[in-house]
């Protein structure tokens, strides 16, 4: 089994922070792996970030390689995160936020745009998009976040500190009042995506649905029915595979090493760029997983 390594921030990126009082920004841990790896929810690296002004958020960080960053964040019932001078939620990366449980209201406080995202749906945002999140409906919120380029490139806290600070937040778009026709207004920065928005492929002998594919990140879901085996394949980027339903066997080859992992719900598998791998389902229900590949999906 490949063990995680906690990499320090690279000079000139996330190390350039103030250290001192509680609430001061500190870079999140960066678990990395030397080869294919299974990361269970219990083994994910815990982290808390935020302050009294921005709110305090719990993170379960699965991997933070040189190409992709993947974590689950949690908010308590009626919890939220906004931003503060030390914790600025505007980054130089593409982000996909997939709701695992609960209901998320996500807002761009710069434009006033708001989206309501239920479990099994996601929202996609690009660089320079301010965002706040709120747990709706009286329950706790858990969200899988895929982020590329990753913090090791200076795309998170270091980048946020270069952006003009947003002094005032708004949570409504008033210019639609009196002129909102049927069909509503298309999103400008926060793109809510559901099952109906997936672009499907069957190039691996199993169903693969794409939510987004940019120059930085390809993200979607994979469905493996009982008895199915996916074609052995590799990607031109690092992959994180996060199981949401069923159980999945992943076999991966890197150089002369072969690894076999069994993943259940909330377990993830890290597959570094170029490592050949396959998915198998020996169970009696369809296995489903959310995946992210950065930067290139094709080998």
5-193 CATH, one of 2.60.120.10, 1.10.3720.10, 3.40.50.300, 3.10.129.10:
2.60.120.10
Can you give the pTM of this predicted structure? 0.92
pLDDT bin (cut points 50, 70, 90) of residue 5 is low
What's the pLDDT score for residue 27?
A: 83
Weakest-pLDDT range from 132-146, 183-197, 221-235: 183-197
What's the pLDDT score for residue 96?
A: 98
Find out whether the peptide bond into 149 is cis, omega within 30 degrees of 0: yes
Are 36 and 271 a contacting pair, CB within 8 Å? yes
Mean pLDDT of 162-170: 97
Weakest-pLDDT range from 45-54, 178-187, 201-210, 226-235: 178-187
What's the pLDDT score for residue 182?
A: 73
pLDDT in tens, 223-282: 999 999 999 999 999 999 999 999 999 999 998 899 999 999 999 999 999 999 999 999
User: Does the domain formed by 195-296 have CATH 1.20.59.10?
Assistant: no
Question: For residue 13, is pLDDT > 90?
Answer: no
pLDDT in tens, 207-225: 999 999 999 999 999 999 9
Domain extents for the chain? Answer: 5-193, 195-296
Q: 226 has which bridge partners? A: none
Whether 5-193 and 195-296 share one fold: the answer is yes
Question: For residue 112, is pLDDT > 60?
Answer: yes
Tell me which of 108 and 187 has the higher pLDDT.
108
């Amino acid at each position: 089994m490949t063990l995680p390594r906690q990499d320090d921030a690279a000079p000139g990126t996330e190390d350039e922070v103030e250290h001192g009082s509680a609430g001061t920004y500190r870079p999140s841990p960066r678990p990395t792996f030397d080869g294919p790896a299974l990361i269970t929810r219990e083994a994910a690296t815990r982290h808390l970030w935020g302050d009294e002004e921005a709110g305090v958020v719990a993170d379960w960080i699965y991997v933070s390689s040189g190409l992709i960053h993947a974590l689950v964040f949690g908010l308590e019932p009626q919890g939220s995160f906004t931003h503060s001078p030390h914790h600025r939620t505007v980054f130089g990366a593409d982000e996909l936020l997939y709701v695992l449980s609960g209901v998320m209201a996500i807002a761009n406080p710069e434009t006033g745009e708001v989206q309501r995202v239920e479990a099994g749906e996601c929202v996609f945002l690009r660089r320079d998009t301010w965002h706040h999140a709120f747990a709706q409906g009286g329950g706790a919120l858990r969200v899988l976040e895929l982020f590329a380029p990753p913090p090791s490139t200076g795309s998170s806290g270091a980048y946020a500190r270069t952006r003009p600070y947003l002094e005032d937040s708004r949570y409504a778009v008033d210019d639609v009042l009196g002129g909102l026709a049927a069909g509503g207004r298309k999103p400008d920065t926060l793109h809510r995506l559901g099952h109906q928005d997936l672009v499907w492929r069957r190039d691996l002998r199993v169903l693969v649905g794409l939510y987004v594919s940019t120059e930085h990140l390809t993200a979607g879901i994979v469905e493996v029915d009982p008895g199915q085996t996916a074609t052995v394949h590799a990607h031109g980027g690092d992959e994180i595979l996060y199981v949401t339903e069923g159980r999945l066997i992943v076999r991966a080859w890197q150089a002369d090493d072969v690894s076999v992992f069994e993943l259940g719900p909330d377990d993830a598998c890290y597959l570094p760029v170029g490592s050949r791998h396959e998915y198998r389902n020996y169970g009696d229900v369809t296995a489903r997983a959310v995946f992210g590949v950065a930067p290139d999906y094709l080998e």
